[in-house]
A and B are shown apart, each in its own frame.
Chain A
Amino acid sequence: MTTRLLEIENLNVRLAAGKAARPILDGVSLHVEQGEAVGLVGESGSGKSVTCRAVLGLLPEGAQAAGSLWVDGEDILTMPSTRLRELRRRDVSMIFQDPRASINPLRRIGDFVTEGLRACGVPRKDALKRAEELLESVGIREPRAALRRYPHEFSGGMLQRVMIAGALAGGPRLLLADEPTTALDVTTQAEVISILTRLRAERDMGMLFVTHDLELAAAICDRIYVMYAGRIVEAQPTEGLFSRPRHPYTSGLLAATPRLESDEPPHGVPGRPVSLAESPAGCAFAARCAHAQPACAREDPVQREIDGAQVACLRAEELIHD
């Protein structure tokens, strides 16, 4: 068996510090192969961002993690911090949601893009040359001049391209994208996504794409994981997820999304999304689920495979959402 680029198995994370102590992830398992784009979709509090950050060892302070998390066969959770830093510089990169909040406003763009390279010991001149090429590849005009400019001189869309350039500097094999276009306009979103998908394909990188937007995930991902209340409730190849969602939450999300090509108005899911800490025993979605039975509130649904889909729903076999 070949080693997977990213493999998370049964990851549990809980915040341990004082009053805030609570579980945030429960039994999360997922994987990303070399060259594969994988979506991680969920609403607020579902744990999708925590899962994504855990891959870089970026857990909230005082958090305890159990389970395993391998990048290319190396365990992140037990890795010494020097190796972890090296991994962040070279192998795994992250693109954050808000470029304005993630790029130091007091440093020049050139400093931001070359930071990882310089830390790896690349000479300044070579690093700047590399940065110039990277800025050009993400469509920044006059990349050489851009190196000397400051973040406030760029629009949000342009700054997000700078962030992508910075993320690619170390030549990573795995890209983590945490809602990279949520802060952007629809037309800018399309541009940033086209750059991201092109560079990902050119460099054969694996990507974990975190978003709340099922349609966006469907447009760019091969497979999609759906999270709810700190657990993965369904995983399927994109096509199957849209044509045959197996979990009532997935079909609820699909029905709630307004669509351009359909006359069917969006239907809300009653109640509100809960976090793992708030969720009662049994299935966390039971209280909002139209198909819930008394057993749903007692038994934890076990994830199992049905027709190529991973589903965690007690009634998955009976319910076919076509």
Chain B
Amino acid sequence: MTEYALEVEGLRKSFGAHVAVDDVSFSLKPGGALAIVGESGSGKTTTARMLVGLERPDAGRIRVGGRDRSDVARGKATRLARAREIQMVFQDPYLSLDPRVTVAACVEEPLRLHFAMSPAERRARRAELLARVGLGEREADALPRRLSGGQRQRVAIARALATEPKVLILDEATAALDVSIQAQILDLLAEIRRDTGVGYLFVTHNLALVRHIADVIIVLYQGRVVESGPTREVLANPEHPYTRLLLHSVPRPGWDPAQIAADRRSLAAVLRETPNPPASAESPHHGPDPDPTKRSVVK
């Protein structure tokens, strides 16, 4: 029996000739919080999409609560069981909620799909879930257009929590929100994690944010894990040049964008000259140690 909520080993996905995700391995403890960081094209969103089953990996294993989900799901029961365990909150709450479905119906839909409940039980559970994210009966009757961005994201979180998942994937879930609202949602997420023991997998490019929300960080560059470890250590002492570049890119007083631009070009040049060895199907496990609580760097 495993102690991990989520284990990923040697995950790989290519689109045509382009390798989007290459030999990515990591694991998430129950109730842990892990952040996958990288720029667009680094493969972080493709990784998240494979975890929830929106993309099928070419190679590699994904286990949730010790159960393997690498093979295609056979039958409705398996699909439902898999969907229950991982849920996702998307970036843009203006696109991820159906404009014609009320908040109440939106949160009740997963309850109807996954649990045999009477209508009264379902209503009670829906009220409980909405209260959990700070919304009341007034919002329950509303259509999304009546809600602010922050309220919509609360609805998306309530909907995701409805199936009592082991892992919640948050794909840039606060990036579209105003900064004063973002902090409210982060507080809410921290509280939910404390109370329910759900594990979080953040997908983001905001390192300043990662510092405050994740215990473990994984840095992706061109589809590969270049550095991973406890957030504090990696951010205080980045070893891979790409991690350093990401860190320096965070705007702050005394920031030197010209230097960052120069570093970025020289890094790209270095990596062009000494490209990473191509991962072959025969040796899918030469990546970093799948235990992310240890430091690891790919030189």
Task: Say whether A associates with B.
Answer: yes
- Show the binding face of A for B, using Cβ within 8 Å: 43-44, 156, 185-191, 193-195, 197-198, 212-216, 218-220, 238-239, 242, 252-253, 255-261, 265-270, 272-273, 288
- Taken together as a complex, chains A and B put the C-alpha atoms of A218 and B254 apart, in Å, by 9
- Enumerate chain A residues within 8 angstroms of B249, measured Cβ to Cβ: 186-187, 189-190
Q: Among the listed stretches B10-18, B55-63, B208-216, B272-280, which one makes contact with chain A, having 4 or more residues with CB under 8 Å of it? A: B208-216
Q: Is the CB of A215 within 8 A of B251?
A: yes
Which residue of A is nearest B180, CB measured? Answer: A269
Which residue of B is nearest A243, CB measured? Answer: B253
Q: Is the CB of A43 within 8 A of B180?
A: yes
- Enumerate chain A residues within 8 angstroms of B211, measured Cβ to Cβ: 258-260
Q: Is the CB of B255 within 8 A of A219?
A: yes
CB neighbors of A among B247-299 (8 A): 247-255, 257-258, 260-261, 264
Q: Which of B235, B254, B257, B261 contacts A260 (CB 8 A)?
A: B235
Q: Is the CB of A194 within 8 A of B260?
A: yes
A-B contact pairs, 15 of them (CB 8 A): A43-B179, A186-B206, A186-B246, A186-B249, A191-B257, A193-B251, A216-B251, A219-B252, A220-B255, A256-B179, A261-B252, A268-B182, A268-B183, A269-B183, A272-B181
- Taken together as a complex, chains A and B put the C-alpha atoms of A309 and B187 apart, in Å, by 32
Contacts A185-B205, A215-B252; A272 near B247 (Cβ below 8 A): no
- Enumerate chain B residues within 8 angstroms of A214, measured Cβ to Cβ: 179
- Enumerate chain B residues within 8 angstroms of A260, measured Cβ to Cβ: 207-208, 211, 235, 247, 250, 252
- Taken together as a complex, chains A and B put the C-alpha atoms of A268 and B181 apart, in Å, by 6
- Taken together as a complex, chains A and B put the C-alpha atoms of A185 and B246 apart, in Å, by 10
Chain A CB within 8 A of B39 CB: yes
- Enumerate chain B residues within 8 angstroms of A268, measured Cβ to Cβ: 180-187
Count residues of B near A (Cβ-Cβ below 8 Å). 40
Q: Mark B27-65, 1 if CB is under 8 A from A, else 0.
A: 000000000000110000000000000000000000000
Chain A CB within 8 A of B143 CB: no
Chain A CB within 8 A of B105 CB: no
Q: B254 to chain A: closest CB distance in Å?
A: 8
- Taken together as a complex, chains A and B put the C-alpha atoms of A253 and B182 apart, in Å, by 11
Contacts A44-B178, A253-B180; A187 near B253 (Cβ below 8 A): no
Q: Mark B158-195, 1 if CB is under 8 A from A, else 0.
A: 00000000000000000000111111111100000000
Q: Which of B179, B182, B252, B260 contacts A187 (CB 8 A)?
A: B260
Q: Is the CB of B251 within 8 A of A272?
A: no
Contacts A187-B249, A198-B258; A43 near B178 (Cβ below 8 A): yes
Among B40, B205, B235, B257, the one with the most A-chain Cβ atoms within 10 Å of its Cβ is B257
Q: Mark B109-132, 1 if CB is under 8 A from A, else 0.
A: 000000000000000000000000
Q: A183 to chain B: closest CB distance in Å?
A: 10
Q: Which of B149, B182, B205, B264 contacts A190 (CB 8 A)?
A: B264
Chain A CB within 8 A of B148 CB: yes
- Taken together as a complex, chains A and B put the C-alpha atoms of A122 and B125 apart, in Å, by 69
Contacts A194-B258, A260-B252, A266-B212; A187 near B178 (Cβ below 8 A): no
- Enumerate chain A residues within 8 angstroms of B251, measured Cβ to Cβ: 189-190, 193, 213, 215-216, 218-219
Q: B77 to chain A: closest CB distance in Å?
A: 41
Q: A156 to chain B: closest CB distance in Å?
A: 8
- Enumerate chain A residues within 8 angstroms of B187, measured Cβ to Cβ: 267-268
Q: Is the CB of B148 within 8 A of A272?
A: yes
Chain A CB within 8 A of B245 CB: yes
- Enumerate chain A residues within 8 angstroms of B260, measured Cβ to Cβ: 187, 190-191, 194
Q: A170 to chain B: closest CB distance in Å?
A: 25
Q: A44 to chain B: closest CB distance in Å?
A: 6
Which residue of A is nearest B262, CB measured? Answer: A194
Q: Is the CB of B205 within 8 A of A186?
A: yes
Q: Which of A189, A220, A256 contacts B182 (CB 8 A)?
A: A256
Chain A CB within 8 A of B150 CB: yes
Q: Is the CB of A272 within 8 A of B150?
A: yes
- Enumerate chain B residues within 8 angstroms of A193, measured Cβ to Cβ: 251, 257
